[in-house]
Amino acid sequence: MRNFQRYIYATKNYSENLKELKAKRLEKNKTHVLCQEERVFFSRLLGTIMAHHNEDEGSIGTSMHGVTAREQVFSFSVQGEDDGPSSHTVRFDDPTAKFALPVDSEHRATAFKPFSFAKPHMRAFHLGWISFFTCFISTFAAAPLVPIIRDNLDLTKSDIGNAGVASVSGAIFSRLAMGAVCDLLGARYGTAFLLMLSAPTVFSMSFVSDAGGYLSVRFMIGFCLATFVSCQYWTSVMFNGKIIGLVNGCAGGWGDMGGGVTQLLMPMVFHVIKLAGATPFTAWRIAFFIPGFLQVIMGILVLTLGQDLPDGNLSTLQKRGAVSKDKFTKVFWYAVLNYRTYVLFLLYGFSMGIEMTINNVISEYFFDRFQLELHTAGMIAASFGMANFFARPLGGYASDISARFFGMRGRLWTLWILQTSGGIFCVWLGRATSLPIAILSMMLFSVGVQAACGAIFGIVPFVSRRSLGLISGLTGAGGNFGSGLTQLIFFSSSKFHTADGLSLMGIMGMIFTLLVAFIHFPQWGSMFFGPTSDEKKSKEEHYYAAEWTEEEKRQGLHEGSLKFAENSRSERGRKAASDGSSPSTPPENGNPAHV
């Protein structure tokens, strides 16, 4: 035991510790069974190692995913001692054969099978995206029913517009806080808390009798949009970095579809309730019970069927081992110092933000401008949101393809092209005076703007390695901010006709999209400029290692960033591949953390 205590205070370099221990073992010529303190020490060590190796590409929180410490005794037979940071080769007692999908050493799935509901990975994926989908339904449930609600509550255009702004504003803050909540409670409880604590707000629509009540209820319902963060967190924990891009893209896109489905669902429910005999002013209140029920049901399903981590639930695992995290102040600092964070914040505000604004205004727009029935307007509005099913993953895919040929410059140009064409079609939608043209322009607009959302998250992972989670969350919050802003300026007053508001919003979007030109990476360049000629700064390692202080580098905490930097060399485009000096596979993270 005294020997072991010497180890603890000796070097901070774990591999040296391992080597010493092995030497000792070979000395004694028997397998060393660790005592309690040693077990805790090594489990913490392994935990930290695994965290910084896989802390990832898609991680929203800054804590470790895949807590590894186990109760079982480590029979210390380390294979491949020269593997350095990769402790993948350490064998655990649990065979990975018990998982339905192939997994890596952290038990994260390495394959994505959307039609499977196997525990725990695919189940977590489906529970995650459906929860997010349900929350989108609730948040935008009022939008297709506004023609009825505005008569019941005697609303003015400003009232409606302000309520729309309120409906997306709450999520700015809840999305930022959600990362920490998931760290504390795990993804299951994070999701379930959001679903089941915001269900009462959905039910409380039955109490609303004036504009103020309407606004406050929509504001409170809007908080549940933070399920995006918990959904992405959950998939990041469950899926390996190589496929996390596709998984998160699907989860994000399919969840966003909820904004479209609600435009179809709510008028239909309203119609059925009216047929059952209720008057319109009561029927819409009853209709709100449907999203409320969906939320409660999903909350219960998440709690009963879901699992925080591939190996179990967080509370049980936490009691067994150590969870180590990066310091939040550091992560925050490096996110705030990076100017690209703000550029992405604004860019996402004019892709996702515009998308959410349209979710709020488009049904009423078609109802009023073209004198349609409520459910017809709803159907058309729904097709806007439903395009997300393929449009968003398509954007991410386009970004990846362009990166293969042109590197990061390709990604930036793809983003600019997609978002600008979205803006152009938005202007066209505002100008359209006939229904077929309006629908055509709306569909093109939806594909452009939703693909741009996907493309933005093709770039986000490269902005920072250490603060990826926070930057993803901030970008997401930017979406809500943009939505609130555009609704406030263009759709809350009688200054503009809604049609003019749409066109002006498209123009504003195009102007802000020009900011893409300002995203410059020293190692890869930007839309118009190449990488810096400075020998040192043009290395990926320099960029990503710059987020760690010298002290931290000495502790070896930046190893994960270095590995990421090496993998990200593919962002140089064809040149990198032809160099033959770097792996031609796309970086591990692909397109993670789609919002």
Binding site for another protein (CB under 8 A): 147, 150-152, 154, 156-158, 189, 192-193, 196-197, 199-200, 203-204, 206-207, 209, 279-282, 284-286, 289, 292-293, 295-296, 299-300, 303, 313, 315-316, 319, 364, 368, 371, 433-434, 436-437, 494, 497-498
User: What is the closest distance, in whole angstroms, from the C-beta atom of residue 444 to another protein in the complex?
Assistant: 13
Our CB check for another protein shows the closer of 197 and 322 to be 197
Residue closer to another protein (CB basis): 205 or 449: 205
109 three-class SS: strand
Helices and strands per DSSP (H, E), number in the chain: 25, 0
Q: How far is CA 189 from the centre of its chain?
A: 17
Cβ closest to another protein, residue 243 vs residue 290? 290
CA angle, residues 187, 190, 191, in degrees to nearest 5? 85
Q: What are phi and psi of 296, to 5 degrees?
A: -65, -45
Taking the least distance from each CB to another protein, the nearer of 26 and 437 is 437
Q: Please, which residue, 206 or 526, has the CB nearer to another protein?
A: 206
Structure tokens at 6: 């010497």
Cβ 461 vs Cβ 589: under 8 Å: yes
Q: Name which of 301 and 346 has its Cβ closer to another protein.
A: 301
Instruction: Please state whether the peptide bond connecting residue 144 to the residue before it is cis, i.e. omega within 30 degrees of 0.
Output: no
Least Å distance between CB 530 and another protein? 39
Q: Which residues contact 218 (CB under 8 A, 6 or more apart)?
A: 142, 163, 164, 166, 167
Q: Shortest Cβ distance from residue 562 to another protein (Å)?
A: 37
Q: Which two tokens stand for residue 338?
A: 């990076």
Q: How far is the CB of 135 from another protein (least distance, A)?
A: 14
Q: Is 534 exposed, middle or buried (0-12, 13-18, 19+ CB in 10 A)?
A: exposed
CA-nearest of 504, 422, 498, 418 to 457 is: 418
Q: Which residues pair with 33 in a beta bridge?
A: 75
Q: How far is Cα 434 from Cα 57, in angstroms, rounded to an integer?
A: 46
Cis? peptide before 95, omega within 30° of 0: no
The residue among 148 and 519 lying less far from another protein, judged by its C-beta, is 148
Contact (Cβ atoms closer than 8 angstroms) between residue 231 and residue 191: yes
192: three-class secondary structure by DSSP: helix
Look up residue 185 and give its amino acid.
L
Is 336 or 439 the residue whose CB approaches another protein more closely?
439
Please state the closest distance from residue 274 (CB atom) to another protein, in A. Answer: 10
Name which of 327 and 497 has its Cβ closer to another protein: 497
Helices within 432-497 (DSSP H only): 435-463, 468-490
CB of 312 to another protein, least distance (A): 10
Minimum CB distance to another protein, residue 283 (Å): 8
- The number of angstroms, rounded, from the C-alpha of 541 to the middle of its chain's C-alpha atoms is 25
Q: Amino acid identity, residue 192?
A: A
Supply the minimum distance, in Å, between the C-beta of residue 156 and another protein. Answer: 4
Residue 186 or 249 having the CB closest to another protein? 186
Which residues fall within 8 angstroms of residue 185, CB to CB, at 6 or more apart?
Answer: 193, 314
As measured in angstroms, the least distance from the Cβ of 95 to another protein is 22
Positive or negative: CA dihedral 189, 195, 201, 204: negative
> Closest approach of Cβ 321 to another protein, in Å?
12
**CB closer to another protein, 202 vs 379:** 202
Residue 193 Cβ, how far from another protein at the closest point, in Å? 7
407 contacts 530 by C-beta, under 8 angstroms:
no
Distance CA 132, CA 488 (A): 25
Q: How far is the CB of 136 from another protein (least distance, A)?
A: 19
In three-state secondary structure terms, 538 is coil
Task: List, in sequence order, the alpha helices (H) in 257-373.
Answer: 258-275, 280-287, 289-305, 314-318, 328-337, 339-349, 352-369
Shortest Å, Cβ 67 to another protein: 14
Which lies closer to another protein via its Cβ, residue 33 or residue 300?
300
Tokens of 360: 């709020």
Are 318 and 66 within 8 A, CB to CB? no
